[in-house]
Chain A
Amino acid sequence: MMPRHRHQSDASWSAFARQTFGQGLWLVRFASMLVPACQRDEWMAEWAAELFHRIDALDVAGLLDWPARWNVFVRCAGALAHALSVRFADSRQNMLIQDIQYAVRTNLRRPAFSLVVIATLALGIGATSAMFSIVDAILIRPLPYERSSELVSVYGAIATAGAATDRTYISPPDYLDYREQSSAFAAFAARTAFGTAVLAGQHGDAPERVSIPFVSANFFSTLGVKPIIGRGFLPSEEDGNGHDVVVLSHGLWQRRFNGDRGVVGATVLLDGERRTVIGVMSPTIERTFPDQMWRPFIFHIEESSHRRAHMLRGIARLKPGVSIEQARANVDGIAHRLAAIYPEDASWHLALVPYRDIVVGNVGPALLLLLGAVALVLLIACGNVASLMLARATTRESELAVRVALGASRTQIVWQLLTETLLLGVAAGAVGLAIAALFVRVVHAVAGGILPRLSEVGINANAVFFTFALSLVTGLVFGIAPAVLASRQSLAGAMRSLGRTSAGGRHLRVRDVLVVAQVALSLVLLLGAGLMLRSLWMVEHVELGFEPRHVMTGQVTLPRTYQTRVDVERFWDTFLARVRARPGVQLAAGATALPLRGGSDTRYHLDGHASDADADGLLAQIDIVTDDYFSALRIPLVAGRVLGPVDRAGGSEEAGHGSIAINRSMAARLFPNGNAVGKRIVLDFGQPFSGEIVGVVADVHTFGQDVGAPDIVYVSSHQVAGNFDGRIMNLVVRTKGDAAVLAAPIRAALTELERTVPFSDVATMERLLGDSTAGTWFRARLLAGFALVALILAAIGLYGVLAYAVTQRTREIGVRIALGARRGAVMQLILVRGLTLVGAGLVLGVGAGLLTTRLLDRMLFGVSTTDPAVFAAVIGVLALTALAACLLPAWRATRVDPITALRAE
């Protein structure tokens, strides 16, 4: 009698327990495939029940930690031995143990062979496990928040006749309306994307610029994070009662306040104003938000009441069971209602994106691609090992023949050979795990800032489990064909005389197929790597529109005491003069936006066009610059003149008009007939600002080298500052020598002038450039590394097959030479054979490459996925490597001594 019961975990368990149960059960179920079908249900029921009780007992007692979990897994792995003992209970009660013992002895008898196999596979398994744990942590595991799949990012979106943008901001009144009216959101929070302040130094610390966005009171509760001490914001603090409270991030609390629990209730100086710390937030939130402090957003005041002042980003939690499509329909409905009430904002609505997609960003395809690439490497490694096993199987024919003669069945021979390969696979898995740990450590060291969620990447139970399964599968993949072939051969071998080894023709044919596949696969990898490297070359040789060498940059944030544009202007005049006076400085300038540092957009329209609707609103980046900006960055002038001291007169923000410069492609688009100079465009600076184009300058790649140049409107700092937060500006210094050494003198110049102003984000322009391509370099290096390993493995495989063929054909070659064959002809014999295999592999590889490189499309810049130069180069490299691998065996064939070869028979 056997009770039927569904194998499921208990609802009251912890997530950890449920996970342990699920994975343990998977192992047991895997093993159960070996159990005869008539006994399987009962067998599963017993294991599942035991597993359930163990985990239940541990979980209830609170003893289920990592060692306990490991212990459970080890027991579940033992189910495999149990399953085998059930399977072979009748015929071979102790055969399994004998098989394993025999397999261990066989493998130990040839330590070099075993080591080569284990090392080859361990490399493949290690790299694959490491890539898996990266993919697992970043793409598969949920975000650190409770029920994180319910979280969605909410953006403002405009649909206009021209360009639709769906990643912009929400205005505070809109936000309040949606928050009130939406029936799809369980909670809807908002956070400003901007917000920095200068935190005054205490106890002699230097002042520091911290990121401190404004958030709605429900921001933390929407995410489901709680303060570790103190409290979060109260709804009443949104209404202006909370202008003086702040919440600290865990990181800042640890670093700046040494984790002092007494900080709650203490006062800090932010931008010179006193704020009370009311709490310290759990560190969880810092995994996805770069914030260091938070302050409440104050609604219902004049500054927050403009429906056109888009400044908030939303994050919402969907009600349980509500899909994102339903939520979209819901907010679209509200957008329609709002459009009826506020027709001037009719084109604005909300865009919802799963929060996970925002956090993970665009690394998903690249990571999956790398995982695929590394799996190909593993496959090639399996091919090599299978080839080695086949070669060895021929030399073991006599041993197998003896076993057959003594009554071993074919199943038993296959089983025996499989046990040997599985053992090698598992050993390789163990070594591979160590390699994976090393690999992950290297990734941690080099991928900072490139991969999201990097702190969560590590070798954990999932990775161990994956590696174990992978090594079993690997053992099967490279073992099954040789084992079956060898067993088939051994029947024939038994008939022959025991002392002689046969030609093993079938083995060679299978090995030929393996080599062709290896060449094809490595060609695919090399093509991918080649395209990435070519794309990087293109990126690094983009015409930047400025000269990055010998440029030092840093950000200066002035306190609120600098209220007017004149104050700011006076500061910069003095500051720049002092910087210029430092030795080594050639030119110094300031700008609100820098190449590779991004900037903020403003709407504008052509002079003479109506501006009442969004429809003809165009967006351009605004850069407020001081006099020497263009010469400091060496941005070439295309037409007209650059902004300079002459602009001290001739217009101002308050007057509503002034001088501007724009970039070349913007000028070409707006004024296709040329002659942009002298025309006017009207910028939306809160109030209209009519700018006369006095100059056109070269395009500058502001958002990184692999993104097209944006439209930029340059205005003079003599004329505009106020609404654009002119208090935060970047310093640009062109130096005579090494730029990096000037950081300290410049900081000193600043401190002399204003003791409390921080000099932040200090970096040379060259480093900013390097950072902007770091992600591409990371991917390209990994892919190139994998491709190189693949190339070496394929070459070894090719060499192995040919060398073996020469050994097998020694006698034939001896006869040919004895009969007068020239050395060249003998060499040709082997070379033709090798190059035929390579040729077949290349043809297959190019076909596969044309299909797979398409996956790279979105990661390439300036290179087509079928770039003929890359294809030709890669084929050339592979063909040359293959030729090198063929030459040695071919040369050895010509050295065959006919007399020795014939005498050996």
Chain B
Amino acid sequence: MTAPRKPLSPTRLAVLKAIAQNVRYGFDIMDATQLPSGTVYPILGWLERTTLVRSRWEAIALAQRDKRPPRRYYEVTATGARALAVSIDHYRALSAAGGLGLAKPRRA
């Protein structure tokens, strides 16, 4: 599947960017993005369905050694990396063009 043409929504972008920066687990992504669990997890599901990220389970042996349950981690696919680049370019261009007109630039 190719990367979506349209840029990602800001929240999806935030989640994807966090994963790209090697924040791999659900709760850690919430910390990094400051988004609630009810937002992050549905987005992770969407990103996985659209193959922008893929998820794996940690090796059981590793977890058993530390006496803890294995965690599921997420990583960005090649498609995801392209979509990330496209979206970042988009928002950057938008910002350069004066943003969404929400913020009033004060600095010279």
Contact = CB atoms under 8 A, between A and B. Distances in A.
Question: A and B: real partners?
Answer: yes
Interface of A: 1-3, 5, 7, 10, 45-46, 48-54, 56, 74-82, 85-86, 89, 93
Contact of A2 (B25, B45, B57, B68): B57
A5 B38 contact: no
Contacts, number: 75
A75 B68 contact: no
B69 A45 contact: yes
A95 to B, nearest CB: 12
Interface in B17-33: 25-27, 30
A76 B71 CA distance: 16
A82 B37 CA distance: 8
A73 to B, nearest CB: 11
Contacts of A81: 37-39, 41-42
B36 interface: yes
A69 to B, nearest CB: 14
Contacts of B25: 50, 53
Contact of A50 (B27, B39, B60): B27
Nearest to A86: B45
Contacts of A10: 67-68
Contacts of A45: 69-70, 72
Given A53-B25, A54-B27, A82 B42 contact: yes
Given A1-B57, A3-B60, A3-B63, A50 B36 contact: no
Interface residues of B, number: 24
Interface residue SS majority, chain B = helix
Interface string B64-83: 00011111100000000000
Contact of A78 (B38, B45, B63, B70): B38
B25 to A, nearest CB: 6
Contacts of B30: 75
Which 8 pairs between the two chains have the least Cβ-Cβ distance?
Answer: A78-B37, A81-B38, A78-B38, A85-B42, A82-B41, A5-B69, A49-B69, A75-B37
A60 to B, nearest CB: 12
A53 B68 contact: yes
Contacts of B39: 78, 81
Given A10-B67, A78-B36, 14 more contacts: A3-B58, A3-B63, A3-B69, A45-B70, A45-B72, A48-B69, A49-B69, A74-B36, A75-B30, A77-B38, A79-B37, A79-B38, A82-B42, A93-B46
Nearest to A75: B37
B104 interface: no
A46 B27 CA distance: 10
A77 B30 CA distance: 14
B49 interface: yes
A50 B26 CA distance: 7
Contacts of A48: 69
Contact of B41 (A5, A74, A77, A85): A85
Contact of B71 (A2, A53, A79): A53
Contacts of B57: 1-3
A49 B71 contact: yes
Contacts of A74: 36-37
Contacts of B49: 89
A21 to B, nearest CB: 11
B69 A80 contact: no
Given A3-B63, A50-B27, A56 B41 contact: no
A45 B30 CA distance: 18
Contact of A75 (B36, B60, B63): B36
Contact of A89 (B37, B38, B45, B70): B45
A77 B41 CA distance: 12
A79 B27 contact: no
